[in-house]
């Protein structure tokens, strides 16, 4: 079966406004070319319909900030897929439910709050995109289990539980309720009885994608991720498809002698404007990364240059804020900071330095101003990017 995974689309209707300092600040904060979301989505739809892709999976944050109008417009676009024979399955992200920067932008710093949807509205709108086809649905979350010809798919809701804890706040973190974990175990034992793999899809990351991620960016991993990774392995899950941080990254860990892989699927609104295509057959998973180009009304170079510029400014800001707040000495050596910036660019783009290039960089550092712990972290970071974002092939059978 061949399917497309789109994460963090953040669909945004221009009627909510695309000018002013408040709008620009919101785009900058989250590294998105939000004003082009409709054209980008239209291009992805057109490209998918020209291929032999039969299913499209969304791993959350398919609306900008949960605005009702954006859900309405996004749902209209999904009808284009289904009317052309492509099936759609979705799971929410932290931006899709409740209050999270849901504004209309009136120019300058002026904004006004707009209507959003809740869990019940969500099910009413999207029941036919996975829930209607499900073998089992969790009553405590928006999670569900489906069966396809070549694998089972466990769509795990890591977003709505945090919204329950903080209904009126902006929530980035995610968690999986213990009741949902019980449902996962029971459903897998009851329904996953055929000899085919189980693939999980959720918004928040399961595995660390770079050293110190838990300390620097804990909200982008699901709560209690170490124990949950072990739980996923125990459930027979070998491949997890995630999003949330808008990066193109592959993390792999061996837990109790079993390898599990977390593929972070990027965002078509964040440089390099990517989405993933998978093919699973006979317990073998192949992946390629595709990039958005030639959208309507915008020159390709202009689109990608703008996206890259927004991302670079965000990386600079986040590195200074996060690492200094954690007491990590990255500012004492300018070359070291430059490398950290480059490393984060690799994280988002899915590219990596060769071992030879990495060793040359490490040797160039002034070790008197850079701790051995951080140098060791660099080596780990390099190893984390040893997996290509194109042509990846995995054995995901339950062994």
Enclosing domain of residue 13: 2-295+390-395
334-365 pLDDT, tens digit each:
666 777 787 788 889 887 666 666 666 666 66
pLDDT band at residue 28 under the 50/70/90 scheme: confident
Are 305 and 261 in the same domain?
Answer: no
Question: Quick one: 291 and 320 in the same domain?
Answer: no
Task: Verify that 269 and 180 share a domain, yes or no.
Answer: yes
The DSSP secondary structure of 105-165, one letter per residue, reads EEETTEEEE--B--HHHHHHHHIIIIITT-SEE-TTSS-EEEE-SS-EEEEE--SHHHHHH
Can you give the pLDDT at residue 179? 97
pLDDT band at 109 (very low <50, low <70, confident <90, very high): very high
Q: Are residues 243 and 372 in the same domain?
A: no
Same domain, residue pair 248 and 372: no
Identify whether residues 290 and 305 lie together within a single domain. Answer: no
**Same domain? 281 vs 324:** no
Do 286 and 192 share a structural domain?
yes
The percentage of the chain sitting over the pLDDT mark of 90, rounded to a whole number, equals 68
The count of domains in the chain is: 2
Is residue 2 reached through a cis peptide bond, with omega within 30 degrees of 0 on the bond before it? no
Pair 140, 222 in one domain: yes
290 & 373 share domain: no
pLDDT surpasses 60 at 303? yes
CATH at 148: 3.60.21.10
Percent of residues, the chain, with pLDDT higher than 70: 83
Does 270 share its domain with 331?
Answer: no
Query: How confident is residue 369, by pLDDT bands cut at 50, 70 and 90?
Result: low
Residue-level pLDDT at 331: 47
Say yes or no: 40 and 54 in one domain: yes
The listed range with the strongest mean pLDDT (129-143, 208-222, 309-323) is 129-143
């Amino acid at each position: 079966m061949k399917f497309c995974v789109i994460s963090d689309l953040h669909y945004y209707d221009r009627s909510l406004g695309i000018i002013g300092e408040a709008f620009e600040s919101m785009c900058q904060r989250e590294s998105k070319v939000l004003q082009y979301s409709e054209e980008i989505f239209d291009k992805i739809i057109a490209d998918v319909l020209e291929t032999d892709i039969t299913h499209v999976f969304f791993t959350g944050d398919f609306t900008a900030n949960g605005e009702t109008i954006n859900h309405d417009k996004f749902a209209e676009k999904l009808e284009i897929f289904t009317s052309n024979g492509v099936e759609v399955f979705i799971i929410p992200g932290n931006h899709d439910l409740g209050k999270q920067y849901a504004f209309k932008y009136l120019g300058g710093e002026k904004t006004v709050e707009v209507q959003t949807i809740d869990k019940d509205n969500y099910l009413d709108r999207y029941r036919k995109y996975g829930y209607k086809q499900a073998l089992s649905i969790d009553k405590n979350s928006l999670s569900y289990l489906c069966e396809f010809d070549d694998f089972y798919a466990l769509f795990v809701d890591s977003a709505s539980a945090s919204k329950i804890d903080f209904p009126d706040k902006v929530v980035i973190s995610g968690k999986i309720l213990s009741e949902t974990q019980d449902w996962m175990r029971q459903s897998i034992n009851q329904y996953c009885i055929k000899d085919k793999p189980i693939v999980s899809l959720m918004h928040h990351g399961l595995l660390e994608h770079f050293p110190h991620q838990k300390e620097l960016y804990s909200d982008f991993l699901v709560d209690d991720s170490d124990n949950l990774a072990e739980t996923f392995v125990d459930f027979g899950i070998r491949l997890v498809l995630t999003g949330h941080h808008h990066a193109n990254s592959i993390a792999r860990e061996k837990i109790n002698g079993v390898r599990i892989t977390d593929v972070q699927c990027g965002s078509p609104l964040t440089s390099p404007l990517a989405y993933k295509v998978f093919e699973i057959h006979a317990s073998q998973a192949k992946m390629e990364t595709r990039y958005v180009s030639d959208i309507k009304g915008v020159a390709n170079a202009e689109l990608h240059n703008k996206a890259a510029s927004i991302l670079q400014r965000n990386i600079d800001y986040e590195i200074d804020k996060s690492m200094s707040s954690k007491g990590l000495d990255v500012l004492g050596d300018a070359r070291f900071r430059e490398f950290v910036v480059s490393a984060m660019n690799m994280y988002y783009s899915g590219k990596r330095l060769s071992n030879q290039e990495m060793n040359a960089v490490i040797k160039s550092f002034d070790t008197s101003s850079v701790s051995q712990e951080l140098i060791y972290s660099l080596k780990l970071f390099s190893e984390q990017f040893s997996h290509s974002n194109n042509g990846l092939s995995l054995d995901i059978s339950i062994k």
